[in-house]
Amino acid sequence: QPERGKPMRNCYSLPGPDFTYGMYMHKRDGGVPEAIGHWDAVKAKAHPRKRVMPRDFVAMGRAAVDEGCTTAREFALYYGYMDIRCKDKGILRYGGKAPPGMTFGKPPRPPTPFFDLMQHRYKELWMEEQRARTRVQHVVKKKVGTMGEVRENRTTFLRTHPLPVKEESFWHLQRFEKVQAPQIPSPDQRQLFWAS
């Protein structure tokens, strides 16, 4: 029976203190001292085998035509003399060496001089550009003015001769027009009406 006030005990017995949980690595399991004092370095291959690329007949044919070869015999002699190989596009993919002048990534932006920022040099350069631009615009306008009148197009004609303003129509439907109320005749008018 389980003890009162205590959870049931597991029926499995645990292994002793010398037991290692998980997988034991014979080569690397040296603890912290081995991890600090030992580096796993991959040994380089002594002489990597150089890949022999196939001949580039398209480039050789193009070069032979540039040299003036016209017959099959001349082409065969040229192919025996010149040996142009295809370029290895996957040279870095297959573990080849990078060319000596090759740089990976994007070149960094040149640093901004802090002294120019403090003196507002960039603002002054921008202002000079704006002044030069306005000077050029004034010169262009003067040249256009001296060359003669600009040809008139529809827009300039409508600016100088605006269209006549439409007169507003006051026509309305008869039912919406105001009907004058009948005038009440004066007594003199009534007498004249009945007399006639």
pLDDT in tens, 81-100: 888 888 877 655 555 666 67
**pLDDT tens track for 142-173:** 776 655 666 788 888 888 888 888 777 777 77
Sign of CA dihedral 85, 86, 87, 91: negative
- Mean pLDDT is lowest, of 9-18, 38-47, 57-66, 71-80, for 38-47
Do 79 and 67 form a contact (C-beta atoms < 8 A)? no
Do 85 and 50 form a contact (C-beta atoms < 8 A)? no
Do 78 and 69 form a contact (C-beta atoms < 8 A)? yes
CA distance 84 to 60: 6
Q: Over the chain, what is the mean pLDDT?
A: 78
**Which residue's entry shows tokens 């009148």?**
149
Query: Please, what's the largest Cα pairwise distance for the chain?
Result: 147
* Predicted model pTM: 0.26
- Binned at pLDDT 50, 70 and 90, residue 32 comes out as confident
Assess if residue 79 is contained within a domain: yes
Assess if residue 21 is contained within a domain: no
Assess if residue 81 is contained within a domain: yes
Assess if residue 151 is contained within a domain: no
Assess if residue 153 is contained within a domain: no
Closest by CA position to 49, among listed 99, 87, 95: 95
What's the mean pLDDT in 115-141?
A: 90
Provide the strand spans (E) within 47-188. Answer: none
Residue 193 host element (H or E): helix 187-195
Count of domains for the chain: 2
- Binned at pLDDT 50, 70 and 90, residue 187 comes out as confident
Structural domain containing residue 77: 52-87
Ordered DSSP codes for 120-150: THHHHHHHHHHHHHHHHHHHHHHHHHHT-PP
Q: Quick check: helix, strand or coil at residue 85? A: strand
Partners of 85 in the beta sheet? 55
Do 51 and 94 form a contact (C-beta atoms < 8 A)? yes
Assess if residue 25 is contained within a domain: no
CA distance 2 to 11: 12
Assess if residue 118 is contained within a domain: yes
